[in-house]
Amino acid sequence: MQKCSRKSQTRKTTAALFDKVTTYVHHMDMIKVGIAKLKAQLSAQLRKVRRGHSLIVLDRDTPIARIVPYEEDTSLEIRRATRKPRDLRLPPPPRSPTDSLTVLLEDRASR
């Protein structure tokens, strides 16, 4: 059986401490919340987002969405419409009748 040197033991203890701090800080910023809790406490959860936290929304322990604080410096550009909706042409009608349910079921079966 080998003895660990004091220096080696100190390194291991320090590394374990940093692992805990990193994990703690990570969990402080990324809050996991279920759908039901989010619906019941929406205002409180949004206050957390305002304070800089991100929410991971879970559906039965499966992450489905992330709510993050809004950043004013986004590259989103809002442009005015160049034409009125009534001036746009509609696409031509389908050449043959379409059964939406059949198309949906075929699409789901192919996944």
pLDDT by 10s per residue, the chain, length 111:
455 555 555 555 655 555 554 444 444 568 999 999 999 999 999 999 999 999 999 999 999 999 999 887 767 788 899 999 999 999 888 888 888 899 899 999 998
- pLDDT at 70 (0 to 100): 85
Q: Catalogue the E-assigned strands of 60-104.
A: 62-67
- 62-67 and 54-59 beta bridge pairing: antiparallel
- pLDDT at 14 (0 to 100): 56
Q: What pTM was computed for the model?
A: 0.42
Q: What is the DSSP letter of 14?
A: H
